[in-house]
Amino acid sequence: MTDSFHHDVIVIGGGPAGSTVARYAAAGGADVLVIDGRDPIGTPLQCGELVPSNDEMRRLCPDVPDMDDLFKTPQSAVSRISTEMHLVPPSGNPLKFPFEGYVLNRVAHDEALVELAKENGAKYLVDSHVSRVEGETVYLRNGSSYTAKIIVGAGGHNDPLRRDFWDESSTKIPVKFVLMDGEFGDAVELHFGSMAPGGYAWMFPKSSGANIGLGIQRSFAKGRSLNKYAEDFISKYEGEVSFRGAGSLPMSGSIRTFVKGNYLLVGDSAGMVLPSNGAGITIAMIGGRIAGQVISENLQNGTALDEYEKRWKKQMGKVMRNSKRAFRFGSLMFRLPNWMLNALFNRLTKGIIWRAVTCRRMFWII
C-alpha cells in the first residue's frame, strides 16, 4: 500500500500501450497494477500482426530515441521477416518498395510485453473488467475496487476513461481478417481502392499461411456491408481459413489532450494509430514509454503529468501530422474510380505514394 492508496498507478488494459506504461513506470520505482479483462492478455487475436523492424522504425519516427530499448521483440514472437512491401491499386499491379517488417505472432508478442513489465515489478490482475472510474477509485464488474494516485486508460478503442471523461470523437474503421493456410511469398501487401473504401486491405505472409483482412469507412461503403467487402477480398486468395477475427481501428490520429488531472490515456484510447498505414502497436509503445517515464518522474520529483504530451509532440508530432494529412489526401484520392486510381499508381507518383504511407511530407507544401 502506498500512503492511503492501494497502488501508485493503475493501468486499465495490458496491451502494448498498457504493458509498456507499466514496464517503464515500474522500472522507475512505481507500484503499478495492470487490470485487464482478458485472460490470457492478447487473446483472441485482433490484429494484422505487422510491425516495422527497429531500423524501419528509426526511419519512420526519426525523433524517437533509443528504439532498441523500447522494442525488444523476441524471435519467438516473429513469424516471418519480410523485406518488401507492395502497394497495390485495384488493377493488382503493385508498386514495390524495400521494407523490413516483422509479421508477428501477436499473442506471443503481447505476452512478452507482459513479462517485461512483470520483470520490472508491475503486477497484473487478469480476467477483471473495469466498469468505471470515479475519482481515484477503479471499479470492477465483479464488485471489487482499487485506488491509485494515477490512473491510466490503455483499454483500446473502448477504454472506460476515454468513454467517460473525454468528449473528443474519433473515426473508427471496422476491420475483419482471417488467418489462411498456404504459401504467400515474402512481400507484405497493402491494397487501396474500391475493394476497401476509405480504408485499406492487407495480406501479410507468415512463416506458414497469411493474415488477410480489410477495414472500411462505412460512410464510403455505399450501403455494402463490411462482411461483403471482406468476403470478396479474402476470396481472391486460395487456402483454408483457420481463424476469423474482427476489431476496430481509430483512424483520426492522436487526440488533442492525453492528460486530465491524474488520468492519462495511451495507445488506441488516445488515437495513437498512424492513419496512413494503420500502425498502432509500435506507436502505442512509443506513447507508453513516454507516459511510464513521466509517471515515475511525477511520483519521484513532482514532474507535471502534462510533460507526457510535450514529449509526445516532440517525438511524434511531425510524423502524426504528416500521417493525418496523408490519410485525408488518400481518402479523397481513393474515392476516384478504379481506372483513375490505377493510372495514378505509376512510376512518377511512386515516391509520393511511399512518402504518404511512411508519414513524410508528400510535396514541399503539404
Ligand X SMILES: Cc1cc2nc3c(=O)[nH]c(=O)nc-3n(C[C@H](O)[C@H](O)[C@H](O)COP(=O)(O)OP(=O)(O)OC[C@H]3O[C@@H](n4cnc5c(N)ncnc54)[C@H](O)[C@@H]3O)c2cc1C
Binding region for ligand X (CB under 6 A): 12-18, 35-38, 41, 46-51, 129-130, 154-156, 158-160, 175, 177, 213, 247-249, 267-268, 273, 278-282, 284
- In angstroms, what is the minimal distance from the CB of 270 to ligand X? 8
* Cell numbers for 201: 486491405
Q: Which residue is nearest to ligand X (CB)?
A: 280
- In angstroms, what is the minimal distance from the CB of 73 to ligand X? 12
Q: Residue 228 gets which letter from DSSP?
A: H
Question: Could you write out the three-class secondary structure of 283-298?
Answer: HHHHHHHHHHHHHHHH
Residue 89 or 267 with smaller CB distance to ligand X: 267
| Strand partners of residue 210 | 180, 205
- In angstroms, what is the minimal distance from the CB of 342 to ligand X? 25
Burial 218-228 (b: 16+ CB within 10 A, else e): bebbeeeebee
- In angstroms, what is the minimal distance from the CB of 302 to ligand X? 27
- In angstroms, what is the minimal distance from the CB of 8 to ligand X? 19
In whole angstroms, what is the distance from residue 355 CA to residue 352 CA?
5
Residues written for the chain: 366
Q: In the structure, how many helices (H) and strands (E) does the chain have? A: 10, 16
Residue 186 or 346 with smaller CB distance to ligand X: 186
Residue 41 or 353 with smaller CB distance to ligand X: 41
Residue 111 or 268 with smaller CB distance to ligand X: 268
3-state secondary structure of 173: strand
> What is the full DSSP assignment across 314-349?
HHHHHHHHHHHHHHHHHHHHTTS-HHHHHHHSSTTT
- In angstroms, what is the minimal distance from the CB of 296 to ligand X? 19
Residue 106 or 336 with smaller CB distance to ligand X: 106
In whole angstroms, what is the distance from residue 36 CA to residue 118 CA?
14
Residue 76 or 158 with smaller CB distance to ligand X: 158
